[in-house]
Amino acid sequence: MVRLIKFQGLLIVLFSFAGFYSANCQSAPVSDLSKDCISCHVSATPAIVADWKRSRHASISPAEALKRPEKQRRVSAENVPEKLASVVVGCAECHTMNPDSHKDTFEHNDQQTHLTVTPKDCSTCHPIEAAQFDKNLMSHAVGNLANNPLYRSLMKSINGIQSFKNMKTTLAEPDEKTTEDSCWSCHGAALQVKGLEPRSTDFGDMKFPVLSGWPNQGVGRLNTDGSKGSCSACHSRHQFAIQLARKPYACSRCHKGPDVPAYQSYSVSLHGNLFESMYGEWNFTEVPWTVGKDLTGPTCAVCHASLLVSSEGEVIAQRTHQMNDRLPWRIFGAIYAYPHSKSPDTSTIKNKDGMPLPTTLSGELAAEFLINRGEQEKRRDTLQKVCLSCHARDWVSGHWERFENTIKKSNGMTLTATQILTKAWDEKVADKTESIFDEAIEKQWVEQWLFYANSTRFASAMMGTDFGVFANGRWFMSKNIQDMLDRLKFLLRTKGKRP
* Residues from 446 through 465 that contact its own copies (CB under 8 A): 450-451, 460, 463, 465
Q: Does 416 help bind its own copies (rule: CB under 8 A)?
A: yes
Residues 6+ apart with CB under 8 A from 202: 43, 44
Instruction: Please list the residues that pair with 396 across neighbouring strands.
Output: none
Number of chain positions touching its own copies (CB under 8 A): 143
Stretch near its own copies under the rule CB under 8 A, chosen from 10-18, 76-84, 93-101, 324-332: 10-18
Q: Parallel, antiparallel, or unpaired: how do β-strands 308-309 and 289-290 relate?
A: parallel
Judged by CB, which is closer to its own copies: 25, or 210?
Answer: 210
* Chain mean position to CA 226: 20
Q: Which is nearer to its own copies, 43 or 72 (CB)?
A: 43
User: Smallest distance, Å, CB 368 to its own copies?
Assistant: 29
Residues of span 276-305 touching its own copies by CB under 8 A: 276-278, 280-281, 291-293, 296
Cα distance between residue 360 and residue 419, in whole Å: 13
How far is the C-alpha of 358 from the C-alpha of 339, rounded, in Å?
Answer: 9
φ/ψ of residue 117, rounded to 5: -120, 135
Q: Which of residues 385-404 bind its own copies (CB under 8 A)?
A: 388-395, 398-399, 401-403
Q: Tell me which residues in 191-220 interact with its own copies (CB under 8 A).
A: 199, 201, 208-211, 214-215, 217
Q: Which residue spans within 343-402 are E strands per DSSP?
A: none
Per-residue CA distances from 62 to 51, 117, 131, 306 (Å)? 19, 18, 19, 21
- Asked if residue 108 binds its own copies (CB under 8 A), the reply is no
For the bound state, the minimum distance from the C-beta of residue 123 to its own copies, rounded and expressed in Å, comes to 23
Show contacts with its own copies in window 326-365 (CB under 8 A).
Answer: none
Q: What angle do CA 262, 444, 421 make, to 5 degrees?
A: 125
Contact yes or no for 151/144 (Cβ under 8 A)? yes
Task: Pick one of 254, 300, 307, 323: the residue that binds its own copies (CB under 8 A).
Answer: 254
Q: Is the dihedral of CA 198, 38, 225, 227 positive or negative?
A: negative
Which of 59, 132, 157, 341 forms a contact with its own copies (CB under 8 A)?
Answer: 157
Q: Which is nearer to its own copies, 111 or 419 (CB)?
A: 419
Q: Does 240 bind its own copies (CB under 8 A)?
A: no
Among residues 85, 128, 158, 287, the one that binds its own copies under rule CB under 8 A: 158
**What is the phi/psi pair of residue 292, to 5°?**
90, -30
Q: How many angstroms separate the CA atoms of 423 and 488, rounded?
A: 8
Phi and psi angles of residue 293, each rounded to the nearest 5 degrees, phi first: -100, -55
| Residue 8 interacts with its own copies (CB under 8 A): yes or no | no
Residue 322 has phi, psi (to 5 degrees) of -85, -40
Q: Is 135 an interacting residue with respect to its own copies (CB under 8 A)?
A: no
Task: Report the site for its own copies in 51-80 (rule: CB under 8 A).
Answer: 51, 54
Q: Using the 8-state DSSP alphabet, how is residue 163 labeled?
A: E
CB nearer to its own copies: pick between 75 and 262: 262
Instruction: State the DSSP H helix or E strand holding residue 207, giving kind and residue range, or none if neither.
Output: strand 204-212
1 binds its own copies (CB under 8 A): no
Minimum separation from the CB atom of position 262 to its own copies (A): 11
Q: Does residue number 378 form part of the binding site for its own copies (CB under 8 A)?
A: no
Q: Are strands 329-330 and 192-201 parallel, antiparallel or unpaired?
A: unpaired
Nearest residue (CB) to its own copies, 296 versus 382: 296
Output the smallest distance, CB 9 to its own copies, in A.
7
Q: Which is closer to its own copies, CB of 99 or CB of 258?
A: 258
Q: Is 213 left (phi over 0), alpha (psi -120 to 50) or beta?
A: left
Candidates 74, 235, 385, 409; binder of its own copies (CB under 8 A) is: 409
Helix (H, G, I), strand (E, B) or coil at 392: coil
Of 188, 288, 333, 468, which lies in the binding site for its own copies, with binding defined by CB under 8 A?
468
List the one residue from 18, 27, 69, 374 that touches its own copies (CB under 8 A): 18
Asked if 367 interacts with its own copies (CB under 8 A), we say no
Q: What is the closest distance, in whole angstroms, from the C-beta atom of residue 143 to its own copies in the complex?
A: 19
**Which part of the chain contacts its own copies (CB under 8 A), choosing from 84-92, 128-136, 272-280, 357-365?**
272-280
Closest CB to its own copies among 80 and 396?
396
Angstrom distance (rounded) from CA 488 to CA 159: 26
Residue 373 interacts with its own copies (CB under 8 A): yes or no? no
Q: Which of 86, 182, 318, 343 binds its own copies (CB under 8 A)?
A: 182
Instruction: Give 365's contacts (C-beta < 8 A, 6+ positions apart).
Output: 338, 339, 358, 359
What's the CA gap between 298 and 284, in Å, rounded? 12
Backbone Cα Rg of the chain: 26
Q: What one-character DSSP code corresponds to residue 172?
A: P
**Residue 470 found at the interface with its own copies (CB under 8 A):** yes
Q: Binding residue for its own copies (CB under 8 A) from 40, 48, 287, 365?
A: 48
CB of 354 to its own copies, least distance (A): 25
| Identified binder of its own copies from the candidate list 23, 128, 274, 367, rule CB under 8 A | 274
Q: Rule CB under 8 A: is residue 92 a binding residue for its own copies?
A: no
Strands 105-108 and 162-165: unpaired
